[in-house]
Amino acid sequence: MSEHFDEMVKLLFDIASSDRLTLLFAIRKENLRLTHLAEKINATIQETSRHLGRLTDANLIEKNSDGSYTVTSYGRLVLILLSSYNFLSKNKDYFLSHDISFLPQEFIERIGELSVYEYSVNVSNVLRHIEQVINSANEYVWLMADQAVITGPSINQAIGSSDVCVNIIITRSSLTPSRTPTNQKTSEGQT
């Protein structure tokens, strides 16, 4: 069974260096030569060359004919996925106390996209942001929250004054029980 993980272990080992990650992210921004890359990590040419060799052997980068380095398509994909790990590690305390495993797999796979946002415990800021998102939407809005979203008059006005479809995803435990009028039957046939 361990042979199934050999390639993944090798990849994780190849990127398990802050210098190599710095080089990889720097090369993603622009094609750079060895001397510029050595300056980026404040290392010698020989040490930087060794790091670049490891990244090249891992097929994460390649050397161009002009001597600069560029990220391969495989390397770009690895960098995209690394943003999720970076986000998770920065927010470890939050995820230790909040289980998101109930979310659809597609959302979890894209969790790294949240790295460009900031967590806010200030409800007023969150509501103001929701209002801005709804007002700037063209067709639809999907909101995801770990608790019921309390809408204020400004959000209700934003929703009511547009042709935008607003959907909110919350956990089942956050749903308030619906009340069935006494003169109507529930789905079980009881009043």
Q: What is the CA radius of gyration of the chain?
A: 24
End-to-end alpha-carbon separation of the chain, Å? 57
pLDDT in tens, 38-54: 999 999 999 999 999 99
Counting Cα atoms < 13 Å in the Cβ hemisphere of 133 gives 15
Specify the pLDDT at position 188.
Answer: 41
d(CA 42, CA 40): 6
Burial (0-12, 13-18, 19+ Cβ within 10 Å), 61: buried
Residue spans per domain, the chain:
2-71, 121-175
Residues in the chain: 191
Contact yes or no for 59/72 (Cβ under 8 A): yes
Closest CA to 139 of 160, 157, 162, 161: 162
Specify the pLDDT at position 57.
Answer: 96
Each of the 191 residues of the chain gets a pLDDT tens digit; together they read: 567 789 999 999 999 999 999 999 999 999 999 999 999 999 999 999 999 999 999 999 999 999 999 999 999 999 988 888 888 898 898 889 888 888 888 888 888 888 777 777 776 777 777 778 777 888 887 777 766 666 656 566 666 666 778 777 776 666 655 554 444 443 444 43
What architecture (CATH level 2) is domain 2-71? Orthogonal Bundle (1.10)
The pTM is what?
0.60
